[in-house]
Amino acid sequence: MGLLSNRVDKESLKPGDHIYSWRTAYIYAHHGIYIGDDKVIHFTRRGQEVGTGTVLDILLVSSGPARSVVPCPTCTPSGDGHGVVLSCLNCFLAGGVLYRFEYSASPALFLAKARGGTCTLAVSDPNDVVVHRAKYLLDNGFGCYNVFKNNCEDFAIYCKTGLLVVDQGTMGQSGQAVSIIGGPLAAVLSTPLRLVTTNVYGMVATAVTVYCASRYAADIGMRKDVVKVSAEDLTRKLATGLLQAIEPPIPAAPAPAPAPAPASAG
């Protein structure tokens, strides 16, 4: 692992590794758990890597890899199941570069990574436990896909740690989701602080500081609202509705403005 990149060779992989690959223009990364024999278990939205049910799909789906019309003979068909799928490593990478997510990162390294979704302060469980969780969820599901609260990175982090961020029964956010939200949030939060800065450089520094602080506080290795949940207990709670990850609704189109009243002739 390096400061600038978590890029690794396929030969260095071992079962239980949390791997990811950036898609076009580094808009997002797709995450999964390597289980050996060139196989990866990962979480999707009904077979699609991303999807929000909103206009954000236009940006995310357009950056995704083009799907081959010829099905891969070694991959499990996704169908319309629960979204956890088994793929060969090549199909998972979709022509992208292989990276390994880092666990037990030091605070200095974590903050040095400008982009979320590459490392965490949390500690990984043993690899055999990680593989067991991934295989169990392949058979039993991981709830409804939600790009902000229950996505492929959340799946991989759960498999590695068994930790879930639970807030009123809702599963928690991943590092790259926090980054997407944290950037604009930092800009907003730093705006009232512009009075203590003397120039634009001070404002930028303030925004960066707020952004890094928000990422650090939101990391699953730092949060206090996390619980250790077995895969068996997780799927039971999902089945009984005690834990939910709700797909965002498709927003309704705004109603057309009423036509102006005709002018009076008098």
Distance CA 127, CA 74 (A): 23
Residue from 30, 82, 91, 144 carrying the catalytic annotation: 30
132 is catalytic: no
Distance CA 161, CA 125 (A): 5
Q: Distances from the Cα of 81 to the Cαs of 48, 96, 106, 141, in angstroms? A: 11, 26, 38, 8
Residue from 91, 119, 144, 152 carrying the catalytic annotation: 152
Relative orientation angle of helices 152-161 and 175-190, to the nearest 10 degrees: 110
82 is catalytic: no
CA atoms within 13 A on the CB side of 171: 34
212 is catalytic: no
Residue from 42, 91, 144, 159 carrying the catalytic annotation: 42
Catalytic residues: 30, 42, 152
